[in-house]
Amino acid sequence: MDFAKRILEIQRIINNHNYRYYVLNNPIITDNQYDKLLRELEALEAKHPEMVTPDSPTQRVGAAPLTEFGAIQHAIPMQSLSNAMNDKELIAFDTHVKKLLNTDSEINYVAEPKLDGLGVELVYQDGIFQHGSTRGDGVTGEDITQNLKTIKAIPLKLRYGNNFIPSILEIRGEVFITKDGFNELNSIREASRENLFANPRNAAAGSLRQLDSNITAERPLSIFCYQPGTIEGVEFATHMEFLEALKKWGIPVNPYIRNIFGADEILKYHHDMESKRNDLPYEIDGTVYKVNSFSLQETLGIRSRSPRWAIAGKFKAQQVTTVIKDIDVQVGRTGAITPVARLEPVQVGGVTVTNATLHNQDEIDRKDVRIGDTVLVERAGDVIPKIVKVIIEKRPQNTEKYQIQNTCPICQHPVYRAKDEAVMRCQNLSCPAQIKGRIEHFVSRNAIDIDGFGEKLVEQLVNKNILSSVDKIFTLKYEDLANLERMADRSAKNILSAIENSKNTTFARFVYGLGIRNVGEHITKILDRHFNSDINAFMNSNRDDLDKIFEIGPIVSEGIVQFWEDSDNKNVVLSSINNGVNIAKPDL
């Protein structure tokens, strides 16, 4: 057989197997047989490069990485859907459509799952895939053609069947990763210590927006198409006819799409899909209803950003029950104390949940959450899972109310809770959980302003136990700095001289740098004036002194009093002064 014929034949055979495997989910050859065909094609095309066409199965991978994505204008803007949050709003949608169409008859809708992936547009010219783009701002998207070509469910050439091939076919669809594909991808990433994707949607988005399409090719992406853009050369009367044509052209269409009538069937479809949701191999976050007739769609028209002829029905947030194994208390970089429930791991919509935030003591009290409780946990989209309620009937005997300790779990200093605030805080200047953040704030431009004392330097100095509190900055020696990674002799000297310069400072800068709760730049200036730049007087002030200051309210004074109650904080200030910090009197 001549090579030209053979090349076309293998291309056709491979395209057919792709279609059977990725679109029909019904492969008839093994992976090995498939690879053999692909290798034969690669070998023939290498010998006859003039025979390589853009729609050849060999052209899905191997493109050179891009430096940036180009822009693509959508011929018709990619709109979004308005949402119905519950049954009532779904019914209201149908009522509104009937009213606008001035009819009492049941409306014919197409009901579709709302896929939780990434909206894209594909453009075929005379049946050949030309380019594809992200939704972007709806008008202009990013050119992700190379990446889309790696998705084998997307035909590079439309199947002919008995259908006309449109000269232009623009279609919209959702690229997604299956729940299994997501778990597999994350376990590979875990093994190589890469950051894990939070959920399948993020994994799909991250994979599709790779400048190197060879990376995209390794990701298990798939697609379902659901919406027309511009189409030239073929006309459809209904949305369903359009979807049927897509299937015949070999473009994947979701198998749960149904032709339905009226509000009752909308609700039935919505509830059916909601109960199937966890059994589907991919994530959906709702359902979509589109008026089937294109002429009625036209009559109904569009609002500013979404059509009047369609609506998305959102599912309730995902909830599951599990058991609280323990409650840990975390200290944030700003001293905020947050209780976190450690859960018996559970799957919620494709994501394993092991922790849930309990926010603060009020929240714990309100829900009466205890260690050992069985709880209802909810994950809504990308947010941190939260505890909806305790299942009291399942509470084991001898549990106790949970109370956050009134000392910091990291440094054991007392924590305080301001009036009207739910959050407890540790105000210890030298608390190890906060020390990096505290130092960064202390040296920042509006505080004592040490030039060149950046985040990376703080990181190294704290990790090497050279710095454990802010006053130690003033006793840093040349060797402390010069021995650090990537620290040139010159930079070490520059930093030391910047530290020297910072020692001549002002009351306002120094106090601001201490990061006392609610004491910002404005308040430090008021304190400066009141205490006449005398830091000792400020340190020894009591509640009465502070309350007398006009412009300073009880919440601010409470934070100040609590800060100075910790004698270690006073010691840090005294030690700074002993080591050369000089607080200038203001220019009055």
Active centre residues (catalytic): 114
Nearest in space to 33 (alpha carbons), one of 53, 55, 50, 16: 16
Q: Is 112 in the site for ligand IVH (CB under 6 A)?
A: yes
Closer to ligand IVH at the Cβ: 135 or 379? 135
- In the bound complex, what is the minimum distance in angstroms from residue 306's beta carbon to ligand IVH? 6
* Amino acid making up residue 565: E
Looking at 17, 60, 74, 114, which residue binds ligand IVH (CB under 6 A)?
A: 114
What is the amino acid identity at position 251? I
Determine, following the binding rule CB under 6 A, whether residue 135 of this chain makes contact with ligand IVH: yes
Residue nearest to ligand IVH (CB): 119
Q: Which DSSP helix (H) or strand (E) runs through 499?
A: helix 489-502
Distances (CA, A) of 344 to 250, 326, 328, 397: 44, 9, 14, 19
Q: Which of 41, 44, 45, 119 is close enough to bind ligand IVH by CB under 6 A?
A: 119
Contact 533, 586 (CB under 8 A): yes
Stretch that binds ligand IVH, among 108-116, 272-280, 514-522, 568-576 (CB under 6 A): 108-116
**CB closer to ligand IVH out of 243 and 546:** 243
Is residue 269 close enough to count as binding ligand IVH by CB under 6 A? Answer: no
Contact between 289 and ligand IVH by CB under 6 A: the answer reads no
Interacting stretch for ligand IVH, rule CB under 6 A, among 107-115, 151-159, 268-276, 503-511? 107-115
Binding residues for ligand IVH, how many (CB under 6 A)? 15
Nearer to ligand IVH, 107 or 443 (CB): 107
Out of 307, 372, 414, 437, name the contact with ligand IVH by CB under 6 A.
307
Considering the complex, state which of residue 201 and residue 530 has its C-beta at the smaller distance from ligand IVH.
201
- Is residue 533 close enough to count as binding ligand IVH by CB under 6 A? no
Q: Does 229 bind ligand IVH (CB under 6 A)?
A: no
Nearest Cα neighbor of 31 from 155, 156, 152 is: 152
Q: Yes or no: say if 309 and 300 are a contact pair by the CB < 8 Å rule.
A: yes
DSSP state letter for 531? T
Nearest residue to 232 (alpha-carbon basis) of 293, 297, 165: 165
Which listed residue (90, 243, 246, 288) binds ligand IVH by CB under 6 A? Answer: 288
Residue 46 vs 76, nearer CB to ligand IVH: 76
DSSP-assigned letter for residue 503: T
Give me the half-sphere count of Cα atoms (radius 13 Å) on the Cβ side of residue 70. Answer: 10
Segment 46 to 105, residues that bind ligand IVH, using CB under 6 A? 79-81
The kind and range of the H/E element at 123 are strand 118-125
Burial of residue 396, with CB atoms counted within 10 A of its CB: 0-12 exposed, 13-18 middle, 19 or more buried: exposed
| Contact call for residue 227 and ligand IVH (CB under 6 A) | yes
Q: Report the residue number, 135 or 413, with the smaller CB distance to ligand IVH.
A: 135
- Alpha-helix runs per DSSP H in 157-199: 179-191
10 Å CB burial of residue 429 (0-12, 13-18, 19+) is: buried
Is 200 an interacting residue with respect to ligand IVH (CB under 6 A)? no
Residue 302 CB, nearest approach to ligand IVH (Å): 8
Helix, strand, coil percentages for the chain (3-state, nearest 5): 40, 25, 40
CB of 29 to ligand IVH, least distance (A): 31
Q: Which two tokens stand for residue 337?
A: 């104390």
Shortest reach from residue 110's CB to ligand IVH, in Å: 9
**Angle between the N-to-C axes of helices 455-463 and 435-443, in degrees from 0 to 180, rounded to the nearest 10:** 140
CB of 113 to ligand IVH, least distance (A): 6
Among 45, 142, 170, 174, the residue binding ligand IVH under the rule CB under 6 A is 174
Q: Which is nearer to ligand IVH, 312 or 481 (CB)?
A: 312
Q: Are strands 168-177 and 118-125 parallel, antiparallel or unpaired?
A: antiparallel
At 283, list the tokens. Answer: 């994530």
Question: Do residues 299 and 312 lie in contact, with contact meaning Cβ atoms separated by under 8 Å?
Answer: no
Q: Interface with ligand IVH by CB under 6 A: which range of 113-121, 343-351, 368-376, 399-407? A: 113-121
Phi first, then psi, for residue 210 (nearest 5°) are: -90, 135
Q: Which is nearer to ligand IVH, 114 or 472 (CB)?
A: 114
Residue 226 interacts with ligand IVH (CB under 6 A)?
yes
Q: Kindly tell me which of 114 and 413 has the beta carbon lying closer to ligand IVH.
A: 114
CB atoms within 10 A of CB 74: 21
Residue type, position 554, single letter? P
Tell me the closest approach of the beta carbon of residue 19 to ligand IVH, in angstroms.
21
Stretch that binds ligand IVH, among 51-59, 68-76, 271-279, 307-315 (CB under 6 A): 307-315
* Residue span binding ligand IVH (CB under 6 A) among the ranges 58-66, 111-119, 273-281, 481-489: 111-119
Least distance from ligand IVH to the Cβ atom of residue 385, Å: 23
Kind of pairing, strands 374-379 and 128-134? unpaired
- Note whether 115 binds ligand IVH by CB under 6 A: yes
Dist CA 570 CA 199 (whole Å):
47
The answer to whether residue 514 forms part of the interface with ligand IVH (CB under 6 A) is: no
- CA atoms lying within 13 Å on the CB side of residue 192: 6
Nearer to ligand IVH, 170 or 480 (CB): 170
Extended beta strands in 233-331, E state: 258-261, 284-291, 310-314, 318-331
Minimum separation from the CB atom of position 156 to ligand IVH (A) = 23
Contact positions toward ligand IVH, by CB under 6 A? Answer: 79-81, 112, 114-115, 119, 135, 174, 226-227, 288, 307, 310, 312
